[in-house]
Amino acid sequence: MTGQPFSAPADVLIIGSGPAGWTAAIYAARANLRTVVFTGSGRNGLPGGQLMMTTEVENFPGFDEGVIGPDLMERMKRQALRFGVVTIEADVTRVEFSQRPFVVIAATSDGEEQYAGRSVIVATGASPLWLGLPSEARLRGRGVSSCATCDGFFFRGEAVGVVGGGDSALEEALYLARHASAVTVIHRRDQLRASKIMQDRARAHPAIQWALNKEVVEILGDRRVEGVRLRDTKTGEESVLPLQGLFVAIGHRPNTELFRGQLELDGDGYLITHRHTQTSIPGVFAAGDVADRRYRQAITAAATGAMAALDAEEFLTGERWTDWGDGQSLATQETSTYTPLAVIDSAAAPAVPEPIMTSPQRPRVVMYTTSWCPDCHAAKRYLGRLGIAYEEINIEETPGAAMLVEQWSGGYRTVPTFDINGTIIVDFNRDALDRALQSHRAASQVDQSD
């Protein structure tokens, strides 16, 4: 870290790009505050948060006919960009809240970059929970999934299960019922937590069955899911339910590891707020699911984003900042002209060198996708940023493609899956993609020197 002087700290650094983050950004930028949003890279969870995994959102006011989750996020993003918000498509790896201005460090393809901010809004949301069974880890991508819209297509005409009794589980079950022959909702109690409207819809669906008072103790199968061993939570009796896919939808945990030791958290890891949206450090605010164990709705996340931006504005008005800033409004700058305060070289940083893009022997990159797969969109953006041309094959529209993906990948049933000159990569993993692209470059150099 070079420790350059803080010549132009942003007014508000917003970590997270779900409804809370974008709404905070819209409010902050409209108040003419220099606003930066760290969207995440897509490597550790999806930029855009949980709504990127949602199909139809019916309860966001203003959308009388419903809106698709990723579309809602795209609209919020565009609205924020209209007011000059700067976006950094990178994962925040560290924060320093013990000093002023606050420092946020993000990992980019060039290493690490450090940003200074007079205030920070934490809107990092929550991540899906897993059951924690060894068999679950072993069979992830081989029939075990947390994203019905991504992987549901692989299970056409097959039997699948969904674990959980909340709105997410029933939403997944209703989506899966479009493809699968039977969907069993496996829930540990006999009362569902889901809203009445979702319960009514799921109960009315002929393909949805119920395994209530049951918990999954083991997922069966060697190279692919063949069933689950269930235990009755009342009697302890065990049974086997044959199925080919298992979708886990048992809730989320707040994404607060980054802040442990710096901000006050409750026993479950949620940020504790004092005085409205302020965290334990004045000038650092919390918005959305990261501090909300109760409501966790897109609209409440957006509302707390607005509150956090108003609180940040009030905080900034009460402080003397003139020694730190240059007084220039970031809202008038182009995104590309906002340079980080420091660039730290990192040996681990993935980098696809220029020659790959200009090589006469470009790698042949084929990406297999489905229409509602958020990771596929993140991967497309990533390849686009690298300037890598790719061929996209949507397995829903290409007869036989799903089966080919499964065969080539040795039994995986998940997208995105890539074929880079014969190297198959399952799932969107930037490091693996970079390595495959780099090895192509090395191979083409050897060929040329022969």
Peptide bond into 61 cis (omega under 30): no
Total residues at the site for ligand NDP (CB under 6 A)? 19
Please state the closest distance from residue 79 (CB atom) to ligand NDP, in A.
Answer: 22
Helix (H) or strand (E) holding 35: strand 35-38
Amino acid identity at 444: S
Please state the closest distance from residue 209 (CB atom) to ligand NDP, in A.
Answer: 17
| Strand 342-344 to 284-286 pairing | unpaired
Nearest CA among 179, 235, 228 for reference residue 208: 179
Please state the closest distance from residue 311 (CB atom) to ligand NDP, in A.
Answer: 24
Please state the closest distance from residue 163 (CB atom) to ligand NDP, in A.
Answer: 6
How many CB atoms neighbour CB 231 within 10 A? 17
The one catalytic residue among 11, 91, 110, 151: 151
Please state the closest distance from residue 286 (CB atom) to ligand NDP, in A.
Answer: 17
Beta bridge partners of 342: 114
User: What track of x and - describes contact with ligand NDP for positions 16 through 55 (by CB under 6 A)?
Assistant: ----------------------------------------
The one catalytic residue among 150, 167, 292, 373: 150
222 is catalytic: no
Q: Residues 91, 113, 151, 171: which binds ligand NDP (CB under 6 A)?
A: 171
Q: Alpha-carbon distance 114 to 303, whole Å?
A: 29
Residue 165 binds to ligand NDP (criterion: CB under 6 A): yes
Q: Residues 250, 291, 365, 437: which binds ligand NDP (CB under 6 A)?
A: 250
Question: Which span sits near ligand NDP by CB under 6 A: 31-39, 93-101, 186-194, 418-426?
Answer: 186-194
Q: Residues 63, 83, 93, 188: which binds ligand NDP (CB under 6 A)?
A: 188
Q: Alpha-carbon distance 27 to 31, whole Å?
A: 6
User: Judged by CB, which is closer to ligand NDP: 70, or 166?
Assistant: 166
Nearest CA among 338, 344, 433 for reference residue 381: 433
Residues 252 to 281: which contact ligand NDP by CB under 6 A? Answer: 252
151 is catalytic: yes
User: Judged by CB, which is closer to ligand NDP: 89, or 136?
Assistant: 136
Structure tokens at 190: 């006999």
Question: Which span sits near ligand NDP by CB under 6 A: 73-81, 163-171, 222-230, 427-435?
Answer: 163-171
| Sequential DSSP letters for 115-163 | EEEEEEEE---EEE-----HHHHHTBTTTEES-HHHHGGGGTTSEEEEE
Q: Alpha-carbon distance 237 to 384, whole Å?
A: 53
User: What track of x and - describes contact with ligand NDP for positions 102 through 141 (by CB under 6 A)?
Assistant: -----------------------------x----------
Calculate the CA dihedral of residues 305, 310, 314, 319 and round it to 10 degrees. 40
Q: Residues 84, 125, 161, 164: which binds ligand NDP (CB under 6 A)?
A: 164
Q: Residues 43, 140, 193, 253: which binds ligand NDP (CB under 6 A)?
A: 193
User: Judged by CB, which is closer to ligand NDP: 84, or 166?
Assistant: 166
Q: Where are the beta strands (DSSP E) in 154-274?
A: 159-163, 182-187, 208-212, 214-220, 227-232, 238-242, 245-248, 252-254
User: Judged by CB, which is closer to ligand NDP: 126, or 367?
Assistant: 126
Say if residues 279 and 271 touch (Cβ distance below 8 Å): yes
Cβ contacts of 69 within 8 Å, gap of 6 or more:
50, 51, 52, 53, 54, 55, 56, 57
User: What track of x and - describes contact with ligand NDP for positions 194 through 233 (by CB under 6 A)?
Assistant: -x-------------------x------------------
User: Judged by CB, which is closer to ligand NDP: 105, or 287?
Assistant: 287
User: Judged by CB, which is closer to ligand NDP: 165, or 245?
Assistant: 165
Say if residues 149 and 42 touch (Cβ distance below 8 Å): no
User: Judged by CB, which is closer to ligand NDP: 119, or 184?
Assistant: 184
User: Judged by CB, which is closer to ligand NDP: 56, or 110?
Assistant: 56
Say if residues 110 and 344 touch (Cβ distance below 8 Å): no
Structure tokens at 123: 């809107």
376 is catalytic: no
The one catalytic residue among 147, 373, 375, 376: 147
Closest-approach residue to ligand NDP (CB)? 166
Please, is 175 exposed, middle or buried when counting C-beta atoms within 10 Å of its C-beta (0-12, 13-18, 19+)? buried
Q: Alpha-carbon distance 325 to 165, whole Å?
A: 50
Which residues make up the interface to ligand NDP (CB under 6 A)? 59, 131, 163-169, 171, 188-189, 193, 195, 215, 250-252, 296
Q: Which active-site residues does the annotation give?
A: 147, 150-151
